[in-house]
Structure formats: C-alpha cells, structure tokens
Amino acid sequence: MIPYTVERRADTGVSNVTMGIWLFLASEVMLFGGLFSAYALLRVSATAWPNGRDVLSLAFGATNTVILFVMTGLAWRARSAATAAAARRGLLFASLLAIAFLAVKSAEYSDEIGRGLLPKVNTFLAMYFTLTGLHALHVICGLVANLWAIVGLARVGDQMTLGRVRALALYWAFVDIVWMIIFVLMYLT
Amino acid sequence: MRIVSTDHKVIGLQYLFTSLVFLLVGFLFILLIRYQLAYPGAPLPLIGRWLPEALAPGGVMQPDFYTQLVAMHGTTMVFLGVVPLAVGAFGNYLLPLMVGAPDMAFPRLNALSYWLYLAGGIVMFSGFFLPGGAAGSGWTSYPPLADIAPAGQTAWLFGMFFLILSSLVGSINTIVTILQLRAPGLTMMRLPIFVWTQLVTAFLLLLAFPPLQGAAVLQLMDRLAGTSFFLPSGLVVSGDPIAATGGGSPILWQHLFWFLAHPEVYVLILPAFGIVSEVIANATRKPLAGYRAMVGGMLFMGFMSFLVWAHHMFLTGMGPTMSGFFQVTTMIISVPSVIFVTTLLLSLYGGSIRFTVPALFALAFLPMFGIGGLTGLPLGLAAADIPLHDTYYVVGHFHYVVAPGTLFALFAGVYYWFPKVTGRRMNDLLGKVHFWGSLIGMNGIFLPMFIQGLAGVNRRLYDGGRTYTSGLGIAHTYSGQWWAAVLLGAAQLFFMVNLFWSLRRGARTDANPWRATTLEWTTTSPPPAHNFATPPSAHRGPYDYSTPGMAEDFTPQSQAPAASQS
C-alpha cells in the first residue's frame, strides 16, 4: 500500500528502507562525531592523560576487534545473498559473533572493575566507559534488530527481508568503523 | 479510534492535543513567574496554599521554586510544546496529504515517535515529585550547576534522551516521506513551501540533536557515575571542595548544547514560515513572490545554522579570532531570514487580502518576527552582546521570535487546517477575540523586556532585580506585564472554547472551504483512511491563484492542463 517499501523509486534511485538507514547513519555520525570531539578537547586540555596500552588490556580489545571484523564480513556477505533463507543464515552467524563480542566485553569490564578501574578515577577511564558502553548499546540494539529480521521472514516475505538485511549490513559496518576508531583512541594511543 | 494507531492523521492529532496541553502548562508556569516578579514576597493567589511547604511556605514563592519554573517553562515550551506542535502535529497530519501519499513512509516508527515524546514529557515532569524538585538549571542545563543539582536534573536528562530519540525517528520518517512518497508529477520545485520547510527542519533535527544526545550521556555520567567531563579542577561548592577528580570543561557542554540549540532556533521558525506562506498565498489569492528565492534561502539558512552556535557564548571569553568568525557567520545568516520576510511582504503587494482569522495571525507574524529578528542583530555582535547578554533584552528578543512569531503562525495553522481535519469551521468572532487579546497581551509582556534589559536588569533574578540599583528604576513595569499575562491567558480561553465547541458544533463546510490549490484540499474533509480515493498526481506549481483565463481564481495542483489550447 505504501509505495517503494521494497522497490526502488526511479528519481531517487533507492527504496524507503535504504534511504531511511542512510539518514539514520548520518545522525549516528553526528552522535559519535560529537563524542569524539569531546574526547579531543578533553585530551588536549588535560594535564595528564595515560597511554591506553598501559591501562587497558590489549588482548581483550584486539580479540573484540577481530570478532567484530569477521561479523561485519558475514553481515556484508548476507547482504548479497541470493535467497532470503541464505541471507537469514548469514545474519544468524553474525548474531552469534555479536553475542561473543558482548561476552568478551563483559569479561573485560569485570576485569577492569576488579582492578579498581572505574569511570570516576580519571577522565581517560570516564571516556573509555562512556564510548565503549554506548558502542556496546549499539551492538545490543543491532542484535535485537537482527533477531527481528530473522523472525520476520515468515511474516513479511523474501523481498522485504532482503531489504532489511541490506540495511542491517550497513548498520553493522558502521558499528565496526566506530569500534575501530574507539580501539585506536582508547587502546593504542 | 485505537489509542495506539499507526495512521498519520491520528498520530498528528495525538501530537496536537498533547503539545497544546504542554503549551498550556508552560503558560501556567509563566503566570506564577509573572506574579512573583510583579509582587515578590506576596503569597501566590488561588493556588498558593496548595503548593508544598518546601517550594512555597505560606504560598510565598522561594528562589528554588522560581528557578525550577523558569527552567521547566523553557524546556516545556521548546521541546514539549512548540516543536512537537510544529513538526509532530502539523508535519504528521499534513505532509502525506500535501505530497499525495497514503501515509508516512514508516507508520509504525511514526507511532513510536509519538509515544517516545509522551514518555519523555512524563519523565521530565516526574522531576517535580523528586526530592529537591524539578530541573532548575535553566533550559540550557549549564554545568557545573547542572552537574551538582538535585535529582530533578537526572529526570530532565532521561526525558531529553527520549525526546531526542523521538525526534530522530520522526525526522527520518519526514525526509523519506517527502522524497520518496511524492505523487507523480510533484517535482521538488512544485512542493508547497510548507513541505520544503518541514524537509529542512527534519534535516536540522536529524543532524543537530545527536551531539546533544552525546552531551546528555556525558552529563548523566557526571551525575551518576562520578565522572568529571564538565567539572573543572578545584571546584568548591558551599565552602567544600567537590569529591570528583575534576579536569573537565564546563565550556564543552556549552559547545555541544548550542551546536544543537542554534539549529533548534530554525527548527522553531522554519515550520512557522511554511504555515504563514501557505496562509498568505491563500489569503492574497495570488502566487507567492519569489518561490525559488524562498527555497534557496531556507536551504542556505539550514546549512549556515550549523556555523553560528558560539554567538551564544561570547561571554565565555573565547577571544577575538573565534568571536570574529561567529560574528561574521551570524550576520550572514540574517540574510535568508530577511529574504523570507521580504518575499512574504512583497506577496501582499497588489493582493486583495481576505482578512480571515488565519490570515490575521499570519499577517501579525510578519511585524512580530521582524521585531524579534532585528533586535537580535545587536546580540550577534560581541561588543553589543556582552553588556546585553545576561539581561531581559535577550529574553524579549527570542520571545518575539518564538511567541508572537512562531506561536502566531501555529495558531494560523490551526484555524486554517481545522476544516480539513473536521469538515467544520472554527468560529470567526471567537477567533478574532483570541487574536486581538493575544496580540495585545504578548506585546504587553515582551515590549517592556527591552526597556528592562537596556536598564541593565539581570534576567535570572527571582525578585526582578529589586536588590540592585539598576532594578529599582524599572520595578514598577512588572505589574503591567502581570496584567498583560492575565489578558493573554484570558484570550486563550476563547481559543479553547472555540476549539472544543467547533469540533462538535462548528459550521459544516465542503472539502475546500478556503478555495486552496494544494493537494490536501483535493480529498474529502476529513480525509478517508489512506487519504485519497484515487492516488492524485500534480500538474502545476503549488500556488496557481488568479491565473488569467481560468473560470475560478484558483487552480488545484491536481488539475490537468486543458488537452489542447488551439
């Protein structure tokens, strides 16, 4: 009934879902852009700022970087899958890796809290917990969206599901890019 | 009618009535504030004895309560009243009709955006029931004050979180609806100005709000997790050094806040421009002068609005290089506003104007917005802004833009599209009483603010500055403002009676009582489910009024050109 839910509109060249996800990602760029600006401003004006390598565990961070990278690859492959069933399978494996990411992240948090590294200790840790926490929230929301697309296949049909998978793949790529930036800013420098 | 509906018309009306209730509450706060300023130390009449002992012992308002009312008045009017009315109500109800679509692009997200908005409002107001009362750090919530304020500030931040999510979802929906669901033949340069303003507004909401979302998260961390993003080192509160580590920057919040809040000014004014354009084109029965100039101007305005935010921060001592940049961009952004007002004024020239109630509100918008805009120019220059910034002059300036400016445009819209929504007209006489009462009341409140500000009265004092020499000379002007506020309130009673009476008893009209051209008038009033019996298509621009050679003085956008002219 509402036009262009799955098919492309000739003059814009996209479907509603595709345009919607790009607009959403534009707003997400502004959200993390604002926070990264805050990071830069606080870091340059700080009297002391530790090197992330000396405080955080590089092993946890690197493991999660690899997990997210592989997961995004899976989501991206699902994007060009031939059938909705195949796309759904790809999304399912990607979701398992997203859960693995969250598991590693929880282990890392509890290790840090056990070592007395809390947000209130200094601005470096405050920034670390805020950025990674907000990022983890994005992973959780993405997982819910994945499940919604996986379960929804029976109800909305192949074309709609493929559109959703394409949108989700873009979202996961964005979440991965944000993680890469956080990894460099917090763990490596 | 289901409470949770995905029909854009139902959601539009939900937005309408919710935002009108919030506007009323925000106005009731003003009655308390104006009485306090007029008669400080006197017990509040009528409601004084019902107020809790902590806020107003014996009915006498305490400074803490005053700051809560001021903060919640600003927040309520901007985030819960005007924007949801302009964007949520008018946008939702009218956009699909004006572009010839069956609904918004994402109906379920549309419902989500309304319910997030309502939740945000309730969470924010729950602050009044927390120990220490509601948020009292101003609608700008500047740290370090906001970081160390009582729990009401946390409710404010969580409420804001919901409101920003709501506006994010809503703005995506708006943009996709306009770009994707336009009827065949409705090219971008055939869109009504109202649709253009909603498009630019949605982009501003989409891109400007997220940094405030980030800033709200940081402030929540400061308040709940003990971090120091916005707390400087060595802060002493009531003689005691604070426990936090410090090292943060209060100015950082101001940057993140105003990066949103300056585009927000254009979010407040652009839909108003859109409504006024529709009403004026209709009332003058001629095409708008300079359609292309308006579209170009508003695109430029939207872009520039991201480059002027620090003109709110000249007092932070940013230095001449920074303030030089922001002074130049601020002067530049006044140009598109002038283009808008000028084209609307030129549109009046030579028209035979119908002085209907919506037209009265739309016409009054022009000089009122003019006063608001022109008094803003000195504030864009640091040399003039520094002495004026903390005075009532600033309050007068932005209230002229938003109250007799934007609110008048929104009232014009309510009167203009009421027949579309209900198939009935609102009463003319009640409408005129509402108009004249509001016009006199608003000017009676806001005009003295310029005098008070130029006298040097600080705008944040709960006794109106009577403890200072500068305040003594103008102390008598407050009672006039109180009576103007009473008049303004009385005028709104006529609006409320008119609204509810006309819903049931208003004179019935046909589908197009204003003889208007745009697509929403080609369907029945009220529109059926999914809006159009047959999907419309557009064959001409939006303002084909008084075209020579036509039998009627208006040609609907959906009317196909005659098959052959020969």
Residue A152 near chain B (CB below 8 Å): no
Instruction: Answer whether B64's CB lies under 8 Å from B71's CB.
Output: no
Instruction: Answer whether B7's CB lies under 8 Å from B529's CB.
Output: yes
Query: Over the range B375-384, which residues count as b (16 or more CB within 10 Å of their CB) and which as e?
Result: bbeebbbbee
Of the listed ranges A108-117, A150-159, B132-141, the least confidently predicted one is A150-159
Q: pLDDT exceeding 70 applies to what percent of chain B?
A: 99
Number of other residues whose CB lies within 10 A of the CB of residue B508: 11
Question: Considering only CB atoms, which chain A residues are within 8 Å of B107?
Answer: 2
B152 has which bridge partners? B134
Contact B211 A121 (CB under 8 A): no
DSSP B4: S
Across the interface, which of A26, A31, A118 has its CB nearest the CB of B214?
Answer: A31
| B47: confidence class by pLDDT, cuts 50, 70, 90 | confident
Residue whose entry in the numeric block shows the structure tokens 């001409």:
B540
Cα–Cα distance for residue pair B328/B326, rounded to 1 Å? 5
The mean pLDDT of B209-217, rounded to a whole number, is 96
Tokens of B127: 């602050």
Tokens of A141: 């929301």
Question: Considering only CB atoms, which chain B residues are within 8 Å of A7?
Answer: none
Contact B229 A45 (CB under 8 A): no
Of B175, B227, B251, which to mutate for an interface test with A (greatest number of A Cβ within 10 Å)?
Answer: B227
Across the interface, which of B211, B217, B245 has its CB nearest the CB of A120?
Answer: B245
Contact B225 A129 (CB under 8 A): yes
AA letter at B130: L
What's the Cα-to-Cα distance from B80 to each of B275, B290, B536, rounded to whole Å?
20, 33, 34
Q: Flag whether pLDDT at B563 surpasses 70.
A: no
Residue whose entry in the numeric block shows the structure tokens 């098959």:
B563
- pLDDT attached to residue B566: 42
| B33: confidence class by pLDDT, cuts 50, 70, 90 | very high
Nearest chain B Cα distance for residue A93, angstroms: 27
Nearest CA in chain A to B230: A42
The mean pLDDT of A9-19, rounded to a whole number, is 94
Question: Considering only CB atoms, which chain B residues are within 8 Å of A14?
Answer: 180
Of B104, B176, B191, which to mutate for an interface test with A (greatest number of A Cβ within 10 Å)?
Answer: B176
Cβ partners under 8 Å of residue B303, min gap 6: none
Residue A119 near chain B (CB below 8 Å): yes
Contact B247 A4 (CB under 8 A): no
Nearest chain A Cα distance for residue B156, angstroms: 19
Number of other residues whose CB lies within 10 A of the CB of residue B371: 19
- pLDDT attached to residue B427: 96
Interface of B with A (CB under 8 A): 101-103, 105-107, 168, 171-173, 175-176, 179-181, 206-215, 217-218, 221, 225-229, 244-245, 247-249, 252, 255-256, 259, 530
User: Using one digit for the tens of pLDDT, what is the confidence trace for B443-463?
Assistant: 999 999 999 999 999 999 999
Q: Flag whether pLDDT at B12 surpasses 50.
A: yes
User: Using one digit for the tens of pLDDT, what is the confidence trace for A42-80?
Assistant: 999 999 999 999 999 999 999 999 999 999 999 999 988
Q: Flag whether pLDDT at B243 surpasses 90.
A: no
Residue whose entry in the numeric block shows the structure tokens 């956080």:
A182
Number of other residues whose CB lies within 10 A of the CB of residue B62: 17
Cα–Cα distance for residue pair B530/B515, rounded to 1 Å? 23
Of B103, B108, B164, B180, which to mutate for an interface test with A (greatest number of A Cβ within 10 Å)?
Answer: B180
Nearest CA in chain A to B183: A3
Of the listed ranges A180-184, B469-473, B490-494, the least confidently predicted one is B469-473
Number of A–B residue contacts, CB under 8 Å = 124
Instruction: Answer whether B196's CB lies under 8 Å from B274's CB.
Output: yes
- pLDDT attached to residue B34: 97
Nearest chain B Cα distance for residue A140, angstroms: 16
Residue A44 near chain B (CB below 8 Å): no
Nearest chain A Cα distance for residue B302, angstroms: 16
The mean pLDDT of A162-181, rounded to a whole number, is 96
Kindly write down the DSSP assignment for every residue of B79-138, as one continuous string. Answer: IIIIHIIIIIIIIHHHHHHHHT-SS-S-HHHHHHHHHHHHHHHHHHHGGGGSTT-B--ST
DSSP A96: H
Instruction: Answer whether B276's CB lies under 8 Å from B344's CB.
Output: yes
Query: Over the range B25-51, which residues count as b (16 or more CB within 10 Å of their CB) and which as e?
Result: bbbebbbbbbbbbbbbeeebeeebeeb
Tokens of A128: 């670390």
Of A31, A41, A117, which to mutate for an interface test with B (greatest number of B Cβ within 10 Å)?
Answer: A31
The mean pLDDT of B120-142, rounded to a whole number, is 94
Cα–Cα distance for residue pair B409/B401, rounded to 1 Å? 11
Instruction: Answer whether A34's CB lies under 8 Å from B210's CB.
Output: yes
Closest by CA to B445, choosing from B474, B405, B487, is B487
Instruction: Answer whether B2's CB lies under 8 Å from B53's CB.
Output: no
Question: Considering only CB atoms, which chain A residues are within 8 Å of B226?
Answer: 118-120
Nearest chain B Cα distance for residue A95, angstroms: 24
∠B309-B315-B316 over CA atoms, to 5°? 80
- pLDDT attached to residue B1: 57
Residue A28 near chain B (CB below 8 Å): yes
Cα–Cα distance for residue pair B343/B430, rounded to 1 Å? 30
Of A120, A122, A129, which to mutate for an interface test with B (greatest number of B Cβ within 10 Å)?
Answer: A120
Closest by CA to B135, choosing from B189, B183, B69, B179, is B69
Nearest chain B Cα distance for residue A9, angstroms: 7
Number of residues that this document lists for chain B = 566
Question: Considering only CB atoms, which chain B residues are within 8 Å of A36?
Answer: none
AA letter at B355: F
| Topology of the domain comprising A16-188 | Four Helix Bundle (Hemerythrin (Met), subunit A) (1.20.120)
User: Using one digit for the tens of pLDDT, what is the confidence trace for B191-208?
Assistant: 999 999 999 999 999 999
Question: Considering only CB atoms, which chain B residues are within 8 Å of A120?
Answer: 225-228, 244-245
Cα–Cα distance for residue pair A74/A168, rounded to 1 Å? 11
Instruction: Answer whether B507's CB lies under 8 Å from B428's CB.
Output: no
The residues spanned by each domain of chain A are: 16-188
Question: Considering only CB atoms, which chain B residues are within 8 Å of A15?
Answer: 180
Q: Flag whether pLDDT at B472 surpasses 80.
A: yes
Q: Flag whether pLDDT at B561 surpasses 80.
A: yes
Residue A120 near chain B (CB below 8 Å): yes
User: Using one digit for the tens of pLDDT, what is the confidence trace for B394-441?
Assistant: 999 999 999 999 999 999 999 999 999 999 999 999 999 999 999 999
- ipTM, 2 dp: 0.96
Contact B247 A47 (CB under 8 A): yes
Question: Considering only CB atoms, which chain A residues are within 8 Å of B218?
Answer: 35, 38, 130
Question: Considering only CB atoms, which chain B residues are within 8 Å of A126?
Answer: 221, 225, 227-229
- pLDDT attached to residue A82: 85
Across the interface, which of B102, B211, B227 has its CB nearest the CB of A30?
Answer: B211
Number of other residues whose CB lies within 10 A of the CB of residue B559: 16
- pLDDT attached to residue B99: 97
Instruction: Answer whether A83's CB lies under 8 Å from A90's CB.
Output: no
Closest by CA to B276, choosing from B458, B95, B406, B142, is B406
Contact B221 A119 (CB under 8 A): yes
- pLDDT attached to residue B213: 96
User: Using one digit for the tens of pLDDT, what is the confidence trace for B217-234?
Assistant: 999 999 999 999 999 998
CA B268 to the chain's CA centroid: 4
Cα–Cα distance for residue pair B250/A78, rounded to 1 Å? 45
Tokens of B153: 């500030």
The mean pLDDT of B500-517, rounded to a whole number, is 95
Question: Considering only CB atoms, which chain B residues are within 8 Å of A19?
Answer: 175-176, 179-180
